[in-house]
Structure 1
């Protein structure tokens, strides 16, 4: 039996939460990776994480505003992050994004 199968629910939740926090830290440390790049390569971005965060809260009966959820993901208000770090999408990025959407 593997170690993973022996985890109780609390341990599993703690590990998953730590993994999620590490993902957020990694994204925060790599602000040069644009959301459109994430969408092209992985079919999700920081905004998707915000939507999933909000949905998970609501599944647990917790009302959470989308902007509050995004602030938890970005570590600051989205508008501030966008002004500081988001670059306009290039023509090449937009073509790749449209090609991905049309698959």
Structure 2
């Protein structure tokens, strides 16, 4: 494997994060509960991780601002436009997954 300097690695990782966020913003049909059930994380997790990273650097970023960055709009707007009620099957899968963690 080629050696990648720290700055380049950080830039590549940032590009991947931006692409992931853009992908999730475009895929509003994919519900957070589905992401949680399949991958163990969702848009809210990404926004929380973003806020934690900002906090660690002493940067002012509110929970609402981090969510808007990930969702591409205010969280409440996204929920009203795109979030569906979780099915009993989705809820059961989520419950089973959280029991194992």
**Common topology (TM > 0.5):** yes
Count of residue correspondences = 100
Is residue 23 from structure 1 mapped to residue 38 from structure 2 by the alignment?
no
CA distance in 2 between counterparts of 1:80 and 1:29 reads 15
- 1:8 aligns with 5
Is residue 33 from structure 1 mapped to residue 30 from structure 2 by the alignment?
yes
Which stretches of structure 1, 4 residues or longer, exceed 3 Å deviation after superposition? none
TM-score, normalised by the number of residues in structure 1: 0.94
Is residue 48 from structure 1 mapped to residue 45 from structure 2 by the alignment?
yes
- 2:76 aligns with 79
- 1:98 aligns with 95
Q: In structure 2, the residue corresponding to 1:7 is in which secondary structure? A: coil
- 1:69 aligns with 66
Aligned-pair RMSD on alpha carbons? 0.7
TM-score, normalised by the number of residues in structure 2: 0.95
CA distance in 2 between counterparts of 1:82 and 1:53 reads 19
Q: Which runs of 5+ in 1 are unaligned?
A: none
Q: Which runs of 5+ in 2 are unaligned?
A: none
CA distance in 1 between counterparts of 2:12 and 2:22 reads 15
